[in-house]
Every structure is written in C-alpha cells, then in structure tokens.
Structure 1
Amino acid sequence: MTRVFTSETSNETPHVIAAKWALRHEDGPLRAEEQHAFEQWIAADATHALAWEDVNWALDAPARHAASPELLDIRSAALTARAVEPRRSPRYLAVLASVAAATIIALLASPLVPDNPTPGGQMGASPEQNGAVYRTAIGERSSITLPDGSVVTLDTDSELHVDFNGHRRGLNLVRGQALFEVAKATRPFVVNARGRMITALGTRFNVRIDGPKVRVALLHGLVRVDAAMQPTGKGKSARMPETVMRAGEIMEASDTRQSVAVAPNVEQAASWKTGQLVFNDTPLASAVAEINRYTVQPIAIADVAVENYRISGVFRSADPRQFAVSMTEILPVRVHFREDGTAVLRARTP
C-alpha cells in the first residue's frame, strides 16, 4: 500500500509527518509514487524541510554523541516503543515524534549543540565575514569555518561568496569546487551554483562547476535543488523540475538538462579534500585534464591515439610529475620533460 503523509489530510504537525516519513524510509527504498509524494511534501513548504532535518538530526544524535547516556536513553525508548508496537500505531508515531522533539530540546539545552555561535551568541555572520569572498589559487585548498559552525573546503582555483542574513545562510560558488559540511541551524543553508539553488537539509555534499555544468554529489542527508529556467527557443524558457536528492546520489545539470543517478562510490567525489584523485577506468585525456586543474605546468598529450587509454588508481593531485611518470609504468606511453618542466606524453614506439 502506498503511504502518503501530508499536512492537508490531517491536523498533524510537520514534525509528526516527518517522523512518519522517517519510519517509511527505514523500511527500505520508497516506491516511485511514494518518492514522488515525499518530494512534493518536502518542496511544499520550507517548514517541511526543516522538520525533516530536525527529525533525522534528532534520531542520529546518539550516533554522533555515543558517550551521552541521556541521548542513548532517549533513543532506547524509541526502539522499545517500536518493538512493542510492530504495526506502528498512532501511539507509537506519537512516541517517535515526542522522542524527536525531546532530543532536539535536550541538544539545544546542552553543551553538545553543534551550532557554533559567534561571540556574543549571535547566529548571524560576523561583520568581517558576511559578504566575504574566499578564493584559492591553482593547486591550493582551503578550509573555512562559517559563523554557524558549518565548514566549507574549497578546492583548487575556486571562489566562494558569503551572504548570510536573518532568513537564510546563503553562499555563492562562483567557480571551482567545494565540499560543504552543514551545521544544524533553523535557517536554510543555500548554495547558488550557476543559478542552481541547492538547499541543504542537514547534510554533507560536494558541488563542482565544470564549464556550463554543475555536479552535486550527496554524501549524507538530503538536498533540494530548486528549479532553474530552461531555454526552449524563440526567446522563451520553461522551469525545470525541482529535485530532492538522497545520500549516495549524484546530479549533473546544464542549462538544458539535469539527471540524477546512484553512485556506488559517492565518497570519491570528495576525495580531493585529502589531496587524492580517484580514477576508475577513466580515459587518459580526462584524467590528465583533472590533474591539470592542480598545476601551473599542465601535462600535455602529444598523440591523440593515447587519449582514450583507460586508467584506474589513486593519485596525488599535488604531484603531476609523478602522475606522468606513473603513466609510463601502466600504459604504453613515454614521457618527455620540456626545459620548463612540463611533461609531455606520447605513444611508446617499439
């Protein structure tokens, strides 16, 4: 039977409905019609997204703070209620909603709160940081702690603008790539990347701008990608649908299309944070292009014939010279270093 939980069909609060959806997610993958109903509910009102974030954050709290007996007791009470009420009666749903609310209150009242307010207790951006612009040079990475406690790691040759206000925590990724680790707060956390508005619902996600394309990899939680205007010809445009992404998914979007797919190794999308680049059966030309993002002496490929050779492995982004040498060990290519140190890859001749 398809479960559809909406505010319109009952007097239940968004937190109670979010708790019901949390239970349904625990049962396993949603059916297509359920997924559609869930996404519609999330997108219908900003309070729904915040309620979903609250419930998941609350239920995950013991995992984050395993040493806290109080939080473990709360989680234990929820699990006990679930065992007693296998059919999930209204009483059990009320218990779960109460558990979520109790956990939220407990955390907000305790020193475990992950929100890191600025001096004076203000949750808004500090004057010296709001409106700030952060840039990284080629080959550089930088970690930024935002006023709400969220952490942004900027990749090579990237630019980020901070625009916090009383209504939302806004960021604009102008170019490059960034990993966002979002702290719990009541205001939405929104990243603008080439017109795509990515709203975090308590999560960890990676955003990359690659020419006209935007790539979002969701490592944990949920994000909502708001609609963008799609040109249809003759000076007209149409609105592309909103997308709610779940952990393990990658979305690729351009001005004319977008697609979402499950990635078996989504964590690899953020491997650059530790200075590693992971290639899985990747064309040599694509791997070289990725390495070249991290160096002012880009590797060159002299023979078109070798561009489609495939490589797999883990390589250091900060050492393009070693990458070029490694290619001679795993592929039928040779490397020549010019006087300026630039590596040139050619087909190996007999």
Structure 2
Amino acid sequence: MSGASSARQLAREAAQWLALQDSGAFSAEQAAELGRWRQRSAAHEALWQKAEMLRQRFAEVPVPLAAACLDRPMLDRRRLLGQALALGSLAPLAWLGYRQLPVANWRADLRTATGERRGLTLPDGSYLQLNTATAVNLDFEQGRHALQLLEGEIAVQGRGPLQVHTDQGLVRSWGANFCVRLDAGLCVVSVSRGEVELVPQAGRSRRLAAGQRGQFSAGGIHATEAFDALLPGWQQGLLMADNQPLGELLRELRRYRAGLLRWDPALERLRVTGTFQLDDTDRIFALLAASLPLQVSYRTRYWVSLAPDSGRVAS
C-alpha cells in the first residue's frame, strides 16, 4: 500500500471511530478497542488527536443559525439543528481525509493544550512525553528517526539514535533520556541518562552527559550547568520549589493554566518551598495562600489574581 493510500485508510478509520464515539451508543468495550487502535503506532495517535481537535472546532453551532432556530416551530427547529450538526460532523471528517495527503504537513502531528500532558511510544520503541502547550512533528519514514519540536517541551526515554530539530538547531541522542524545552528563543536541554549532542545552527557543537543542562540559540551554545537528575518533575505531574522566588514559580505555573494569571509585583520576592500537583492549579493557589501572606481572588474561572494580604506578614 502506498504512503498516500495508507494515510487515507488511517483517516477513514479515524473518521469511523469519531462518528461511533459521537453516536451516543459508545460502549466500554468499544472505548477499549479505540484505545488499542490509538496505541498501534505514533501515526494512529497523531491522527486521533487531529480528529478530536477538529471535532471541537466544528462542534459549536454558529450563533446566527442558533438564533434562527429559536424563531421556528419545534419540528423545523429540530430539523434545522439536525442539519447543522450533520454538517458540523461531516466537515471535520472531510477535512481530516484531505489533510492526510502527503502535501499537507503544515499542522503538527502531536499537540497538547495548556495544562495537558501526554505520552506515547514512538515507532523505534522510544517513549515520548509532551508537556503543556507543546507541538511536535514526527519523521520516522525511510529509516529516519527524528522529531521536530515546534513549541513547548518534550521528554524522551530513548531506545536508539534520535534527532530533535528546533529552530535553534539540532539535539542528537544515542538512546539517552533527556528533555528539550523551547523558551524565549532558546533551546534548553537536560540529560538524565546517557549523552546528547547540542548542534546549534552556527557555532560549535557540545556534548552533554547525564546530570547536565545546556541552552543554545541559533547563534551558538550559551551555557551549561549541573542539575539533580533524580528530582521528579513535570513528567511525574509535579512542580517542585526549593526556596524559590514566588515570581519564578508563578511564571512556571502560568504555563499550565489557561486564562489570565496576575500577581502584585510585591509578591515576587516571597520564597516558596514545596511539591505541587500540576493537575490541580487551584489547589496550588490555596496552598500558597495558606503558607504565604497573600490572598487569591477569582474574577472568573480563567482570571486569577494574587495580592498581598495586609493582615499577615511573611515568616
């Protein structure tokens, strides 16, 4: 089967699963079978992520159409809404089939939303984790073993040679465990097992061993430093602070929370120590308010503000 035919077949399978899931008669056995289908390969998982994203995009009925439905008798209203929902389900399926043609590679193969983390096994047996707000393209065709990190952060448990391409350059691994993060025009690489090579677009390359972290831009390598590779981190769903300035913690926390997070500059230099669960950012705010002289206010679920608590002083 040609590459184009294989891609079209996968698109049809994903479309069938999407329609079945939205049918209202999706059993636990079918959900388990879908899970097994997604785990067959990185291509299956990437395509399913695209299908879910498209379903969300087309799920909402446009406001003018909804308003028109309200003005009609019940029978016509149901018919019109039914037509709208039918179009809403067909559109992403058609788009999905079209976008799986080899010429359409502009959209990331794998993507996570803000606050979401995801892991999957790559075709070479390596395990890939995507941190919050991350986009990755895969390239495992014709003997290649490569990823392209477009945004965000990944962790790799390597099982063989692997290259990670970024705008700043290349990270080359030979079965290492490592993280790659894009941050303000820099590529930051941390190695917990094995060895990797940093290859900026310009300048000399440099190798990092386990327990080392390096950062580079397109113009060259900026710095390397040691770190504790045994400390748990986002791969375990944790955010750790050891006498860390609160401002630094909040800037990191903002990556995992959709919406607006603001704080009074007077809070910047307060110190924080603790281990926090990334899956519950509201709980983190509550813990900070309980241990520091600050108060948390919610204007909406997606608009959180932190301000000094004048009735308390820092210990």
User: By the TM > 0.5 criterion, same fold?
Assistant: yes
Displacement of 1:204: 0.5
| Residue 219 of structure 1 pairs with residue 195 of structure 2 | no
Contact 2:169 2:217 in 1 (8 A): no
1:153-201 deviation digits (Å, cap 9, x = unpaired) = 10111001011243530110100011111113xxx31001223211112
Cross-structure match for 1:349:
310
| Residue 159 of structure 1 pairs with residue 146 of structure 2 | no
Residues 254 and 280 (structure 1), Cα distance of their counterparts in 2 relative to 1, 3 Å cut: farther
Partner-residue secondary structure (3-state), 1:288: helix
Residues 309 and 262 (structure 1), Cα distance of their counterparts in 2 relative to 1, 3 Å cut: same
Displacement of 1:289: 1.5
| Residue 248 of structure 1 pairs with residue 211 of structure 2 | yes
Cross-structure match for 1:137:
113
Cross-structure match for 1:180:
156
Give % identity.
26
Root-mean-square deviation over aligned CA pairs: 2.6
User: Which sits farther off after the overlay, 310-319 or 335-344?
Assistant: 335-344
Contact 1:324 1:343 in 2 (8 A): no
| Residue 262 of structure 1 pairs with residue 247 of structure 2 | no
Q: Please tell me the residue identity of whatever aligns with 1:142.
A: R
Cross-structure match for 2:234:
272
| Residue 305 of structure 1 pairs with residue 278 of structure 2 | no
Alpha-carbon distance in 2 for matches of 1:324, 1:128: 34
Contact 1:292 1:320 in 2 (8 A): no
Q: Please tell me the residue identity of whatever aligns with 2:187.
A: V
Cross-structure match for 1:292:
254
Contact 1:199 1:223 in 2 (8 A): yes
Cross-structure match for 1:29:
none
Q: How many residues align?
A: 213
Residues 178 and 216 (structure 1), Cα distance of their counterparts in 2 relative to 1, 3 Å cut: same
Contact 2:200 2:218 in 1 (8 A): no
Contact 2:168 2:186 in 1 (8 A): no
| Residue 323 of structure 1 pairs with residue 284 of structure 2 | yes
Alpha-carbon distance in 1 for matches of 2:292, 2:45: 51
Contact 1:125 1:148 in 2 (8 A): no
Displacement of 1:210: 1.1
1:42-74 deviation digits (Å, cap 9, x = unpaired) = xxxxxxxxxxxxxxxxxxxxxxxxxxxxxxxxx
Contact 1:295 1:318 in 2 (8 A): no
Q: Please tell me the residue identity of whatever aligns with 2:216.
A: A
Contact 1:172 1:191 in 2 (8 A): yes
**TM-score, structure 1 as length reference:** 0.56
Contact 2:168 2:200 in 1 (8 A): no
Alpha-carbon distance in 2 for matches of 1:160, 1:341: 26
Residues 175 and 339 (structure 1), Cα distance of their counterparts in 2 relative to 1, 3 Å cut: closer
User: Which sits farther off after the overlay, 172-181 or 318-327?
Assistant: 318-327
Find the partner of 2:183 among 175, 188, 210: 210
Displacement of 1:341: 5.7
Q: Please tell me the residue identity of whatever aligns with 2:127.
A: V
Alpha-carbon distance in 1 for matches of 2:275, 2:302: 23
**TM-score, structure 2 as length reference:** 0.62
Residues 125 and 224 (structure 1), Cα distance of their counterparts in 2 relative to 1, 3 Å cut: same
Displacement of 1:275: 1.2
Partner-residue secondary structure (3-state), 2:233: helix
Alpha-carbon distance in 2 for matches of 1:282, 1:252: 21
| Residue 201 of structure 1 pairs with residue 170 of structure 2 | no
Partner-residue secondary structure (3-state), 2:115: coil
Q: Please tell me the residue identity of whatever aligns with 1:137.
A: A
Alpha-carbon distance in 1 for matches of 2:155, 2:262: 29
Contact 2:132 2:256 in 1 (8 A): yes
Displacement of 1:126: 7.0
Displacement of 1:340: 3.9
Displacement of 1:205: 0.4
User: Which sits farther off after the overlay, 127-136 or 282-291?
Assistant: 127-136
1:273-330 deviation digits (Å, cap 9, x = unpaired) = 22111122222122112111111134320x2111121212111112221111111222
4+ residue segments displaced more than 6 Å: 124-132
Gapped runs of 5+ residues in structure 1?
1-117, 230-239
Alpha-carbon distance in 1 for matches of 2:207, 2:230: 19
Contact 1:321 1:343 in 2 (8 A): no
Alpha-carbon distance in 2 for matches of 1:167, 1:126: 15
Residues 255 and 285 (structure 1), Cα distance of their counterparts in 2 relative to 1, 3 Å cut: farther
